[in-house]
Structure 1
Amino acid sequence: MFKKVLSLLMVSVFILTLAVGCGAGGQNDTGENEDKVKIAMVTDVGGVNDQSFNQSAWEGLQRAEEELGIEVSYLESNQDADYIPNLETLLDANNDLIWGIGYKMGNAILEAAKQNPDQKYAIIDYAYEDTPDNLVGVVFKAEQPSFLVGYIAGKMTETGKVGFVGGIKSAVIDGFDYGFHAGVKYANPDVEIIRQYAESFTDSAKGKAIATNMFQNGADIVFHAAGAVGDGVIEAAKEQGKYAIGVDRDQNYLAPDNVITSAMKRVDNAMFNMAKELKEGNFPGGQTVVYGLKEGGVDIAPTTSKHVPADILEEVEELKQKIIDGEIVVPFNEETYNEFISENIK
């Protein structure tokens, strides 16, 4: 009896060993690798629910999870000092690709990429002069949709005065700022533009105060490129019965009667596209990927037709095509703006 039991145990061990051996490395019976691709992101200080580009980035990864079967996660940064430890945590978690969301993470991502050459990294809103082979920069021609919403503001203002609220001045925000200015002046050279920076991407109360002051001083439309600061801008528009223009995502849902359009930067599409490339074994390391109107990376919000008259929308579509065709080159900083004005505004 003992020999019989011992024989059964030996057979069981053999079968178990065989099964484990066949499954080593996460492979199934067909030899396919069952290990999921893992992608994670570190948010900028605005957090993952900033109603702006951090949230858009996370939505892109969630889409990749749903449609591509990729395992996704994120860590939030409450201050700049959180960037490096968050990146290290995601490195220890064996992610295949680690994202930094926002230009403020440029130095931290570059340092991490240099220290960990076998780890793949990517960053939103940053282009390096010399990009390591394990790093990809992704930038957007934010000046293009900003020009279009500026044109809308210039055509729709009834007071002849509009406003721009920026977060913290940088090359990225310059694109929104000067693109918007150019669009307003292209629509109506006589419109006055009030500009103010909040020196923050998180202080919604300051955004509300700035926008309220603009509205009380005659502006009837205010565009923001300021992350969560823009929540306050939109709240001020609601309280004052004025119009706001959103950014990064279609922000009409925040104030359906007040947000007339948004300058969309499709960070979600960029995140999804990179996930798809990575899963297919194509990682464009050492490069900067640029998204504009032509690439479907920027646009105005789908809800624009709710408030903007059809004739203005037709004009916007014509402008959009001219930008795509290169007939209109939208300015992205002070120098190119001055050139644009001298050549196009009489």
Structure 2
Amino acid sequence: MKKTILAAAVLGAATLSMAAPAMAEGDYKVAMVTDSGDITDQSFNQTTYEACKAFCEENGLDFNYYKPDGDSDEARIASCDQAIADGYNILVLPGYLFAASVVEESPVYPDVKFIALDMSEGDLTGAAGVDDVTQAYNTENTYCAIYQEEIPGYMAGYAAVKMGYRHLGFLGGMSVPAVIRYGFGYVQGINAAAEELGVTDDVTVEYAYGGQFYGDADITAAMDTWYSTNGVEVVFACGGGIYTSAAEAAAKVDGKVIGVDSDQAPIIDAYGEGMTVTSAMKGLAPTVNTLLSAIVLDDTWSDYVGKIDNLGLVSDNVEENYVQLPLESTQWNDGFTEDDYKTLVADMLAGKITVDNSIEAMPEVAVTVNDLGNIK
């Protein structure tokens, strides 16, 4: 975004800030703003919306969501401005696309608390055009969280091989750090399970990026080749709406798909019943509950504000973790049961299993990985 546009956004925000109603300390109203999707996307927006709504209903808080009128920084900033003008003083923003909003809005509205999910230091410094992240946004009213994507990626790859799959694929969206961590973790999990089972010579991984976060005819054609010609059994579709191309191709040959970020079984299985093996999830709902509780119930916001937390495993209770597989929709079998998953999580939590989070180069593994680069 050009500096002149940002400056205009700040001026507009400042005008709204002066008009925003004053809120008494502890008189909280919660709003979330959707990014480029909506609250029925079975992904970041829907998960965040449902978590915010449930918390507010349980605790008697006013809640609303706002959908920008376009997929742009300006539109997202305008929605934040409108929420604040309407009296909402906790804003929950799901995804790195809100980096410019945090950079612009957090200094203008010091009395508003911003919860930014899946937003890294690099996202913030890039949006602000600075090197020092503390100069990029207001650290006095903002909490940011990123997630250790390599861990659920590892879990998904490990589970798939244990379940009996031997020819696997990874279809990433764009080769951004989060997607790469998912993919490299996936490869490490595949390799670990193959080594345990003594089948490294039998396991092959096709690995590619679509070059975009949505499916199209070209990517579907590539997936048709993977499934129908190369004999790929399951593809980890990792990146926004790119799952559509994997699912369309899988449906033609009774193939399987692994979802990402949230439990995507409801939307993937619409292409074919039982198509989703599992989903490599980020714990957006636990994050929302933790931070809203800290503000509204526990008065511990000071323990979180100003941080950019890198969230992962925190508990033997798998559903309390910030990265996980879904218990209900994962297709557990004799090769990999729910109890096996819980044992895997416990071993990772105890440090018996570690996952490299480097994104510099494909992990060195014993299984065969065909690194195909970008499809387009």
TM-score (norm 1): 0.79
1:72-151 alignment, distance < 5 Å: 72-77=63-68, 78-81=70-73, 82-128=75-121, 129-130=133-134, 132-151=139-158
- Measured in 2, the distance between the counterparts of 1:206 and 1:37 equals 48
SS in 1 for 2:206: strand
Deviations 1:270-312 (A, max 9, x none): 112222222123322111234322251121111355x332342
1:259 aligned to 261, 276, 295, which one?
Answer: 276
SS in 2 for 1:303: coil
Q: 1:180: how far off?
A: 0.8
| Residues 202 and 293 (structure 1), Cα distance of their counterparts in 2 relative to 1, 3 Å cut | same
The letter for the 1-side match of 2:105 is A
Q: 1:262: how far off?
A: 1.2
- Measured in 2, the distance between the counterparts of 1:148 and 1:182 equals 9
Q: Decide whether the 8 Å contact of 2:313 with 2:349 is kept in 1.
A: yes
SS in 2 for 1:240: coil
2:183 aligned to 177, 182, 203, which one?
Answer: 177
The letter for the 2-side match of 1:101 is P
Q: Decide whether the 8 Å contact of 1:50 with 1:228 is kept in 2.
A: no
Q: Decide whether the 8 Å contact of 1:51 with 1:228 is kept in 2.
A: no
Q: Decide whether the 8 Å contact of 1:201 with 1:228 is kept in 2.
A: yes
| Residues 246 and 134 (structure 1), Cα distance of their counterparts in 2 relative to 1, 3 Å cut | same
Q: Decide whether the 8 Å contact of 1:43 with 1:76 is kept in 2.
A: yes
SS in 1 for 2:336: helix
| Residues 171 and 161 (structure 1), Cα distance of their counterparts in 2 relative to 1, 3 Å cut | same
1:1-346 alignment, distance < 5 Å: 37-77=28-68, 78-81=70-73, 82-128=75-121, 129-130=133-134, 132-158=139-165, 160-188=166-194, 189-190=200-201, 191-203=203-215, 208-216=220-228, 217-254=230-267, 255=269, 256-280=273-297, 281-283=299-301, 284-295=304-315, 296-303=321-328, 307-313=331-337, 314-335=339-360, 338=363, 341=365
Deviations 1:189-227 (A, max 9, x none): 442222222333344666644433321232110112212
- Measured in 1, the distance between the counterparts of 2:57 and 2:47 equals 15
Match for residue 373 of structure 2? Answer: none
The letter for the 2-side match of 1:173 is V
- Measured in 2, the distance between the counterparts of 1:139 and 1:67 equals 26
Aligned residues: 309
Percent of residue pairs bearing the same amino acid type: 25
| Residues 206 and 91 (structure 1), Cα distance of their counterparts in 2 relative to 1, 3 Å cut | farther
| Residues 331 and 65 (structure 1), Cα distance of their counterparts in 2 relative to 1, 3 Å cut | same
Q: 1:124: how far off?
A: 0.7
- Measured in 2, the distance between the counterparts of 1:59 and 1:43 equals 12
The letter for the 2-side match of 1:219 is V
Deviations 1:98-145 (A, max 9, x none): 122111222331222123323221211113343611110012222212
| Residues 108 and 262 (structure 1), Cα distance of their counterparts in 2 relative to 1, 3 Å cut | same
**Alignment RMSD, CA only?**
2.8
User: Quick check: which has more Rg, 1 or 2?
Assistant: 1
With 226-235 and 182-191 compared, the bigger mean Cα shift is at 226-235
Q: Which of the two has greater helix per residue?
A: 1
| Residues 203 and 79 (structure 1), Cα distance of their counterparts in 2 relative to 1, 3 Å cut | farther
The letter for the 2-side match of 1:241 is D
Q: 1:167: how far off?
A: 2.1
Q: Decide whether the 8 Å contact of 1:53 with 1:227 is kept in 2.
A: no
The letter for the 1-side match of 2:250 is A
Q: 1:241: how far off?
A: 0.4
SS in 2 for 1:227: coil
Q: Decide whether the 8 Å contact of 1:40 with 1:90 is kept in 2.
A: yes
Unaligned 5+ segments in structure 2 are 1-21, 122-132, 195-199, 316-320, 367-376
Q: Decide whether the 8 Å contact of 2:164 with 2:335 is kept in 1.
A: no
